[in-house]
Amino acid sequence: MKLALVLDPLDSLKAYKDTSVAIMAEAQARGHALYALLQEDLALKGGRVAGESRPLALTGDDHDWHRAGAAAETPLDAFDAVLMRKDPPFDSEYLYSTLLLELAEAQGANVFNRPAALRDFNEKLAIAKFPSFTAPTLVTRKPELIREFLAEQGDIILKPLDAMGGSGVFRVRRDDPNLNVIIETLTRLGTRTIMAQRYIPEIAAGDKRILLIDGEPVPYALARIPKEGETRGNLAAGGKGVAQPLSERDREIAAALGPALREKGLFFVGLDVIGHWLTEINVTSPTGMVEIAAQTDCRPAALFMDALERRCA
């Protein structure tokens, strides 16, 4: 197969832990041809969606990890699959990319995850589609509503709707002397909508990332355990990733969400679960494959490629 991946700049990827690199390594080992594109390489030209794609070969070296060839304009429907793996923020440029990819899809391209689903499933707000699995949550830009929610819950998490890796996440309590400035900063003086969630103490045991591939869960989750003195378990915030078998509750959540997400065109998804509660549905560029593979006998990248080959057959 010819596989195109829309990625962040190649030199910014940390090959030793990057899930996109793990997927590409597995694809290359199976004899598939790899091509890399940036968001800026996508274009609508002469009525067709194409990309300035670069043939890519992986070296197996974690530092000098790739060799990229010369860029050539290629219609996206000339590839067997196009994988959208660009990291957030989900800004206007990301939106435009999904619109271009949706046009490419209409022209015959196989795009994973489906562009319309990327737009419909904001990674924070999407949990509202599954209220039976979520802790008390508020979405607003009004400071007075946030203060009321804090008064009810006593201990809450505040976070933006368009970031990743724990960026901009605050934990606040009723007596927090910085409450007003935190709310002002996150809402940009009441002009930006944010999310508030009840603080879940089980975060101490890890913020679990459950990977769904074509609706089916990988049998191990990656519990991201916060470092001492930190609320966030995100690996980007210094959390430690510990692979562990899915719990009964993990499987219950995965079984409920998997088919629904697959039906929407979400091929690869990362569910974030703290304790018994679903906190996020990651659809843009889920991670965790490398850590799970390193600590268990499970190979998530191989499961991914198995499913992708079935879908593209």
pLDDT in tens, 44-103: 999 999 999 999 999 999 989 999 999 999 999 999 999 999 998 889 999 999 999 999
Helices (H), the chain: 19-29, 92-106, 115-120, 143-153, 179-187, 248-263, 289-295, 300-312
Can you give the pLDDT at residue 239?
80
Q: How far apart are CA 189 and CA 196, in angstroms?
A: 16
Same domain as 87, residue 157: no
Domain identity same for 13 and 45: yes
Q: Beta-carbon neighbour count of residue 132 at 10 Å?
A: 7
CA 196 from centre of chain:
20
Asked whether residue 213 falls in the same domain as residue 175, the answer is no
The question of whether 129 is a catalytic residue gets the answer no
Whether 281 contacts 271, CB under 8 Å: yes
Query: Of 85, 224, 250, 291, which residue is the catalytic one?
Result: 224
pLDDT, position 18? 97
CA 168 – CA 222 distance, rounded (Å): 22
Rounded average pLDDT over 150-155: 97
Which pLDDT value is given to residue 11?
Answer: 94
pLDDT at 311: 97
Q: Is residue 100 part of a domain?
A: yes
The 3-state DSSP class for residue 157 equals strand
Where among 199, 225, 247 does a domain terminate? 199
Report which of 189, 167, 188 is spatially closest to residue 123, judged by C-alpha positions.
167
Is there a domain that residue 142 lies in? yes
Same domain as 257, residue 187: no
Would you state the pLDDT for residue 164?
75
Number of helices and strands in the chain (H, E): 8, 18
Q: Are residues 9 and 102 in the same domain?
A: yes
Count CB-CB contacts under 10 A for residue 261. 26
The answer on 298 and 241 residing in a single domain is yes
312 domain-assigned? no
Task: Please give the backbone phi and psi of residue 304, each rounded to the nearest 5 degrees, phi first.
Answer: -60, -50
Q: Are residues 102 and 80 in the same domain?
A: yes
Tell me the two tokens of residue 251.
């499987």
Asked whether residue 64 falls in the same domain as residue 156, the answer is no
Return d(Cα 246, Cα 222) in angstroms, integer: 9
Q: Is 2 a catalytic residue?
A: no
- Which of 86, 159, 198, 208 is catalytic? The answer is 159
For residues 97 and 150, state if they share a domain: no
Annotate 16-69 with DSSP letters as a single string: TT-HHHHHHHHHHHTT-EEEEE-GGGEEEETTEEEEEEEEEEE-S-SSS-EEE-
Which position among 114, 124, 198, 208 bears the catalytic label? 124
Q: Does the active-site annotation cover 224?
A: yes
Q: Would 313 be classed as within a structural domain?
A: no
Residue 237: predicted pLDDT: 64
Residue 233: the pLDDT is 66
Domain-terminating residue out of 173, 199, 225? 199
* Percent residues over pLDDT 70 in the chain: 98
The verdict on residue 222 lying in a domain is yes
- Indicate which CATH number applies to the domain containing 163: 3.30.1490.20
Indicate if 58 and 159 belong to the same structural domain.
no
pLDDT band for 301, please (50, 70, 90 cuts): very high
Asked if residue 163 has pLDDT above 80, the reply is: no
Q: What is the tally of structural domains in the chain?
A: 3
Whether the CB-CB separation of 31 and 58 falls below 8 Å is answered with no
Other CB atoms within 10 Å distance of the CB of residue 31: 7
- Give the active site residue among 113, 122, 234, 282: 282
- Is residue 65, in this structure, part of any structural domain at all? yes
Query: Could you tell me the CATH number of the domain that includes residue 100?
Result: 3.40.50.20
Would residue 280 show up in a list of annotated catalytic residues for this protein? Answer: yes
Domain boundary among 199, 215, 236: 199
Range of the domain at 71: 2-113
Do 106 and 182 lie in one domain? The reply is no
Decide if 118 is inside a domain: no
Segment 201-258, tens digit of pLDDT = 999 999 999 999 999 999 999 999 988 767 766 777 678 899 999 999 999 999 999 9
Residue 198's SS3 state is strand
Residue 110 annotated in active site: no
**Chain centre distance of CA 163:** 10
Please give the full DSSP string across 191-260, using - where no structure is assigned.
TS-EEEEE--GGGGG-EEEEEEETTEE-SEEEEEEPPTT-S---GGGTPEEEEEEPPHHHHHHHHHHHHH
Q: Are residues 178 and 207 in the same domain?
A: no
CATH number at residue 256: 3.30.470.20
Catalytic site residue 216? no
> Is residue 174, in this structure, part of any structural domain at all?
yes
Overall average pLDDT of the 137-150 stretch? 98
**What φ, ψ does residue 141 adopt, rounded to 5°?**
-120, 5
d(CA 238, CA 274): 17
Residue 62 sits at φ, ψ, to 5 deg, of: -70, -20
Q: What is the pLDDT of residues 3-16, one digit of tens each?
A: 999 999 999 999 99
Structure tokens at 266: 């979400």
